[in-house]
Amino acid sequence: MPEQIVIIGAGFSGVWSALSAKRLIDLRNKNNDIKVLVIAPDPFLVLRPRLYEADISSMTHPLGPLFEEAGIGFFHGAAKSIDTVARTVHAQSVSGVESSIGYDRLILAAGSTLVRPQNIPGLEQYSFDVDSFRAAEKLDAHFKALVSRPANPARNTVVVCGAGFTGIELAAELPDG
């Protein structure tokens, strides 16, 4: 039975890890000995660093054709737990089917998630972010809906919190939107 490398996550790190592992497997002629499987909830790569841009429609890339061409397996779902003793990942498919996936090597590339402090009044109801594709879509829909509201200074006021790459790019992009 072939060994299996399991990668949790299909962001830049997960995709790069899968492609790099597969390349080394191919170079060493170990295709029959080692398989690569990626576990991720979405079948596409999100160009997350660019989600601040006005048109996010082109900020995803489907992974199916890429993984198929490279000979990489894909489990469309989420890792729920890892049993390091049994060397298994307990995962749930997007349709709800539970699976136990064995691994010989495991790469955890699940990425990060924005954490919002719960003790700031109004933060959850009135703030937006560009941490994920869905969040960026929500912000985009909000901006588009503002046009139908009466013109006033509040409607045209945006506060950007954060002066990192994304915050600066977002603030610079907003006047064009």
Containing domain of residue 54, as a range? 3-108
**Cα 164 to Cα 177: distance, rounded to the nearest angstrom:** 20
Give the pair of three-digit tokens for residue 171: 């603030």
Q: Say yes or no: 18 and 87 in one domain.
A: yes
Q: Tell me the pLDDT tens digit for each residue of 53-92.
A: 778 888 899 999 999 999 999 999 999 999 999 999 999 9
The pLDDT-based confidence of 176 (bands split at 50, 70, 90) is low
pLDDT for 177: 54
pLDDT at 99: 97
User: Band of the pLDDT at 116, cuts 50, 70, 90?
Assistant: confident
Strands (E), 9-119: 34-40, 44-46, 60-62, 73-83, 88-93, 98-102, 105-108
Whether residue 84 is found in the same domain as residue 161: no
Question: For residue 69, what are its two tokens?
Answer: 């061409």
Mean pLDDT of 111-120: 87
- Is the confidence at residue 20, as pLDDT, over 90? yes
Q: Write down the pLDDT at residue 3.
A: 97
Identify whether residues 104 and 129 lie together within a single domain. no
Domain boundary (108, 131, 159) is at 108
User: Is 111 a residue whose pLDDT tops 90?
Assistant: no
* Mean local confidence (pLDDT), 114-128: 89
Same domain, yes or no: 94 and 150: no
Tell me how many domains the chain contains: 2
Q: Could you tell me the pTM of the whole model?
A: 0.80
CATH code, domain with 59: 3.50.50.60
Which of 62, 64, 96 has its CA nearest to residue 77?
96
Closest CA relative to residue 133, chosen from 36, 53, 60: 60
> For residue 57, is it within any domain?
yes
pLDDT at 50: 80
- Model pLDDT for residues 21-34, shown as the tens digit of each residue: 999 999 999 999 99
